[in-house]
Structure 1
């Protein structure tokens, strides 16, 4: 009997050591260095499928994509903050990178992905992005990266008040490369995201038209998803984690988020006292200027709004 007990203890200790080694090998203690600079990928063309739902379900798309093109680098693009957006509404795109830089995608491989229901899209090369990497040794590496990497990325972006979105994961070379663009963010939103936001914007406009409060019905900003709509691929979309007001991309010249914008009050929204002072001032000025000048001045006011 004591021999069996000793054997069980030994087996238990070996199991614990094996598990501990597995977790360590997966990247438990790996250093995470978050940087700002050139991302790990250049211009890419990739095949993808778009889904809306909990991010934990994205694994199935990774498997499907890898089955068609084994050995290709895989990519996942995640558009919403799961802490602020319900899981059923989270949007993501997953697929395989078909070509990078000036290289062209293999036509036969392209047809195989399209035959399996994948779409094809391209992301541009950018010079500024928040980046880091994590070892990709085992399946457990993915779980560790979610727990360890994302909090540091979010802290880095928030601390420096950066306008960075969406979040990309690239699996290749035994590493998970994380990338959050700081410029041309709008180019990293696949067409399906724009379609969803366009429908939400139309619903919002329809609701505003019937709202007796007189709310502006021309807003292009969806408060539910936090994305600024634009048909131009040169215009940035607002990050899903920023829900107070839309933020537009400033290009490569200025990729920092705004620290707090003041809203200019239109002339027709001024208080009665302000309007009386303005009328008095206009009356005094009219005695000193010709009638042609006010016309030009009012045109300037309209042009500024």
Structure 2
């Protein structure tokens, strides 16, 4: 092979490597991540959404569908479970577009378009305190990098301060991915479908409990002639604890499904209550260099530790 051919190959390889490296850097690889506690990046919002259960990586299709209806609207994803602790098919999320914020009114034509396409409409309140950060949203890769880099930082920040922050919201607008989790009124951020899932699981647990107690009563009564009414009552009472609706559970661990917590990588949220969250000092920063101190448009990437 002539020397000039080899030289051209080497030059092409070098250009390719530089291009790839530049793309990754531009996507946010070295972006400084600063976690804050303070006012939310959004006010009260009304949004159109679809609720799904399943692996978070499937949410990209909903983002595409929502964006195709309202391409000028900000997209939002709400993620209720930790995929490292909850099986993929049981993870719950809502994805859609923000129709209005604050006192603004939603566009009626857009609202009808979303409803015609099977989207539901719900509102989130404006809260006084959230845990939040942002990441540049410049390329498809920005979403993956943001998820992989941001959630571990959020986890560390929340666990260090023993906060209760859930669920996790991702808002895509103005070239940024805004990550936030409310520190108060968390129940108001659960769409109605989540409560329906909770009720369904509660009923299944109660039926399972009743079945076990029935089998136990049958076994013992056939041998001793004694009906175990007290044991049955105790079992039912214990199972009924799990049927408390989400809004009444406060900052508890959402019936063992890990729907509250710090991040989607390896969450283990501390249960300290909304009152403690409200007492958290506002606007404390957390950078890569000082992670222990007090305190961005592509959107269909992986979410929380998922590819």
What is the TM-score when the length of structure 1 is the normalising length? 0.76
Distance (whole Å) between structure 2 residues aligned to residue 116 and residue 160 of structure 1: 42
Tell me what 1:35 maps to: 36
Distance (whole Å) between structure 2 residues aligned to residue 235 and residue 73 of structure 1: 29
1:146-225 alignment runs, 5 A limit: 146-212=147-213, 214-215=234-235, 216-220=238-242
Tell me what 2:46 maps to: 45
1:218-257 alignment runs, 5 A limit: 218-220=240-242, 229-230=245-246, 235=250, 238=253, 240=258, 250-251=273-274, 253-255=275-277
1:57-206 alignment runs, 5 A limit: 57-206=58-207
Question: CA shift at 1:57, angstroms?
Answer: 1.1
Q: 1:249 to 1:103 in 2, by over 3 A?
A: farther
Q: What do residues 252-288 of structure 1 show as CA deviations (whole Å, max 9, x unaligned)? A: x43289xxxxxxxxxxxxxxxxxxxxxxxxxxxxxxx
Question: CA shift at 1:39, angstroms?
Answer: 1.0
Question: Unaligned stretches of 5+ in structure 1?
Answer: 222-227, 258-305
Q: Any conservation in 2 of the 1:183–1:236 contact (CA below 8 Å)?
A: no
Tell me what 2:285 maps to: none
Q: 1:178 to 1:63 in 2, by over 3 A?
A: same
Question: Unaligned stretches of 5+ in structure 2?
Answer: 214-230, 262-267, 280-307
Q: Any conservation in 1 of the 2:164–2:273 contact (CA below 8 Å)?
A: no
1:99 counterpart SS class: strand
Question: CA shift at 1:87, angstroms?
Answer: 1.1
Q: Any conservation in 2 of the 1:237–1:247 contact (CA below 8 Å)?
A: no
Q: What do residues 89-133 of structure 1 show as CA deviations (whole Å, max 9, x unaligned)? A: 111110000000011101110000001111100000001110000
Tell me what 1:280 maps to: none
Q: 1:122 to 1:177 in 2, by over 3 A?
A: same
Question: CA shift at 1:10, angstroms?
Answer: 0.5
Distance (whole Å) between structure 1 residues aligned to residue 204 and residue 190 of structure 2: 21
Q: 1:154 to 1:172 in 2, by over 3 A?
A: same
Q: What is the root-mean-square deviation in Å for CA atoms of aligned residues?
A: 2.5
1:112 counterpart SS class: helix
Q: Which has the higher contact order (CA 8 A, sep 6+)?
A: 2
1:102 counterpart SS class: coil
Q: 1:145 to 1:211 in 2, by over 3 A?
A: same
2:239 counterpart SS class: coil
What is the TM-score when the length of structure 2 is the normalising length? 0.75
Q: What do residues 17-47 of structure 1 show as CA deviations (whole Å, max 9, x unaligned)? A: 0111111111000010001111101100000
